[in-house]
Structure 1
Amino acid sequence: MRRTIFTLAASSTLLLAACTSGSTSTENPDATAAAAAAAPAGGKASIFVIGGKSDDPFWSKVKRGVDDAAKVVEANGGKVTWLGPQNYDNLGPDAAKLILTAKSQGATAVIGADWVPDAQDAAFKSVTSSGIPVFLYNSGGADAAKAVGALTYTGSDELLAGKAGGEFFAQNGVKNVLCVNTLPGAANTEARCKGIAEGVAASGKSTQLPLPSSNFGNPTAVTQAIKAALLKDSAIDGVVTISTQDADSAAAAIEQAGGTGKVKLGTFDMDDTQLSRVKKGKQLFCIDQQPYMQGYLAVSQAFAYNAYGLLLPQSPLLTGPAIINASNVEAALAGAKAGVR
């Protein structure tokens, strides 16, 4: 499935993404110069993409987009190389090493997520200062791209995504939201929880439950931590997680804590399991950022710049957010079954 339909139940979701000044669609001042310049690579493209773990369900969708866009690069004699960490225990420093690895291996363009700016920005600047174009995706935003000298950002605005989720919770009567963060300190996950709090603030509140990053992908540990939080505070009537794996753990925790029917569940990102729960009325929503499109568009832009000096004037190029709920879940299910949503 190559085309994704955005059907929104929260009126703010893409309206915010389209209309918020300074954090959404703004002109890229480098685009005109890039379009007029000779192809920066001067030869065959060698594009390096820094992504997540190979067994992370979210990143497998991003890589699917990367792989599809790579077919065009390869047809023109170039190549695309994927680099990812073994785990998320030391995410920022590990990502910085991968960025420098890409530089040392002759990259003509580097695509990366700015998850932990304090740890990664020096590496990104090392790449850009050497004349290699950098394209941020997934995490960072337009401000981060400007800070490290990247040409553009492709992905979701995580703060806006969180706000949309918080507002949707509020519209459905939720007053006290627990935001479970298994990657605390990462810029994108912190922005998600901050956005949830801002979105629900008019009629309720949200607190963050930060868990060690070693718990990411550990369903037993995450389930027990969420269950303990729910038993400690009976006023919690909403739980939101930063990933689909954690959403599965949260669903189990809600049931074990006796919160079925009382505690509403939402998550960032989605898969067949989450969408099935939404369809059955057992989960309130998912927030889609179209990971396939992030990978596909980032590689396509890097190749177009390397090969022809082309650069779109819009930065950031937003791939979300979209609230997926009972009203539009069928279309999302089709994309999930195809492995791209």
Structure 2
Amino acid sequence: MNDPHELDTETHDASGNVARRMLLGGAVLGTALAAMSVRATQARAAGFPAHPKWKLVFVNHVTTNPFFVPTRYGIEDACALLGCEYQWTGSATSNAAEMVNAMNTAIAGKADAIAVPIVDQAAFNRPIASAMEAGIAVFSYNADVPSAGRLAYIGQDLYASGAKMGERILGMIDSGRVALFIATPGQLNIQPRIDGAQDVIRKAGRNITVDVIATGPTVDEELSKIDAYYIGHQDVKGMFAVDAGSTQGVSQVIKKYKLPEKGIKGGGYDLLPVTLNNIRDGFLDFTIDQQPYLQGFYTVMVMATFLASGGLVGPADINTGLKFVTKDSVGPYITTSTRYEGKTDRPMIVPRSGAIKG
């Protein structure tokens, strides 16, 4: 995987192109200068007024997790557009104390704004209050506790997405045993999802038994727990997960034991390559794309708008959405390597054609 810090530095020398065109004659020169003038006018109209290079600090709970590679690309792209710089810091193991220390360091370093996934119910209350008292705007992304005092949340509506997954499960399973896998119960970027799924299934009143299984923080551990669960519960009708690693593990176990032949369903979250390939090959029914690129890009946009307007504009919560990816729609996720899904660090415009489906 490419280092998300290594941006494609290829640039196009517009002035050199213009210089070469000048040799072609006055008419071409006039056209080029007119075009340059239009572009300059558009840039003045569209750009922010001159401002200091705002320092935005993104504290994260799993700093090396591949899920956040497109998030970082979104941050970098928005910073390039708006003249900001950012720091990526926090914890590699979802340690709230390490995240709080990173926030305190950002406060001492006089960051202009801080973004943090609020993955604990109370641990972030004090550092958020300290930052706001120091005049540093704090936003949450990816996980949220509204009562913690942040200005706005940018990310998926986690409970609602879990409820949608529950509805999808009910559309495939009428009765029997269903397994729901979660890496770290209680962690607020995934617990609301499993809560939403359980609530929908329970309210449906069907004869469905739901088993909730904690799988652990690493992919290898998750796979082992899911495999062991299936060996002990071969009457299961469906296996579903609420985090990326567990979803990959579900797809691998379903493939290993050829469970579609037994009518066993499966699904989960996020876009790890193994997950996508197993959807294509018929070993997983769906995964949910929570659009991590937007969780970076939109957060920078909200932060910069708040800073540019002196706090008059925003802050605003932004739901980064929910997209079910199935065998019918997985193709472009596999065949297209883009910065938006974290498969390459190269900036690009992705061409598309045909009707747009909602």
Q: Structure 2-normalised TM-score?
A: 0.73
Residues matched between the structures, number: 287
After the TM superposition, which residues 64-143 of structure 1 pair with which residues of structure 2 at under 5 Å, given as runs? 64-73=73-82, 76=83, 78-88=84-94, 91-140=95-144
Q: CA RMSD in A?
A: 2.5
Taking a change above 3 Å as real, the CA distance of residues 334 and 164 of structure 1, as seen in their structure-2 partners, is farther
Instruction: After TM superposition, give the deviation of residue 139 of structure 1 in Å.
Output: 0.6
Instruction: Output the amino acid matched with 1:236.
Output: V
State the secondary structure of the residue aligned to 2:143: coil
Contact conserved, 1:264 with 1:283, CA < 8 A, in 2?
A: yes
Match of 1:305 in 2: 306
Which of the pair has the greater relative contact order for Cα pairs under 8 Å at 6+ separation? 1
Distance in 1 between residues matched to 2:153 and 2:290, nearest whole Å? 14
Distance in 1 between residues matched to 2:290 and 2:219, nearest whole Å? 23
Instruction: Output the amino acid matched with 1:122.
Output: R
Q: What are the Cα deviations for residues 234-287 of structure 1, in whole angstroms up to 9, with x where unaligned?
A: 332222223333222223333556644333221111133322222222111111
Distance in 2 between residues matched to 1:269 and 1:231, nearest whole Å? 25
Identity %: 21
Contact conserved, 1:52 with 1:59, CA < 8 A, in 2?
A: no
Match of 2:148 in 1: 148
After the TM superposition, which residues 168-247 of structure 1 pair with which residues of structure 2 at under 5 Å, given as runs? 168-173=168-173, 175=175, 176-201=177-202, 202=204, 203=206, 204-211=208-215, 215-219=216-220, 221-247=221-247
Distance in 2 between residues matched to 1:252 and 1:209, nearest whole Å? 17
In structure 2, runs of 5+ residues without a counterpart are 1-47, 342-358
1:291 aligns with 2:295: no
Structure with max Cα Rg? 2
Taking a change above 3 Å as real, the CA distance of residues 187 and 52 of structure 1, as seen in their structure-2 partners, is closer
Match of 1:338 in 2: 338
Q: What are the Cα deviations for residues 98-143 of structure 1, in whole angstroms up to 9, with x where unaligned?
A: 2212111111101111111222222222212322111111111xxx
Which shifted more, 160-169 or 274-283?
274-283
1:248 aligns with 2:248: yes
Distance in 2 between residues matched to 1:258 and 1:276, nearest whole Å? 15
Taking a change above 3 Å as real, the CA distance of residues 168 and 314 of structure 1, as seen in their structure-2 partners, is farther
Instruction: Output the amino acid matched with 1:240.
Output: F
Instruction: After TM superposition, give the deviation of residue 53 of structure 1 in Å.
Output: 3.2
In structure 1, runs of 5+ residues without a counterpart are 1-38
State the secondary structure of the residue aligned to 1:117: coil
Distance in 1 between residues matched to 2:288 and 2:316, nearest whole Å? 21
Q: Structure 1-normalised TM-score?
A: 0.76
Contact conserved, 1:45 with 1:307, CA < 8 A, in 2?
A: no
Contact conserved, 2:241 with 2:269, CA < 8 A, in 1?
A: yes
Instruction: Output the amino acid matched with 1:115.
Output: V
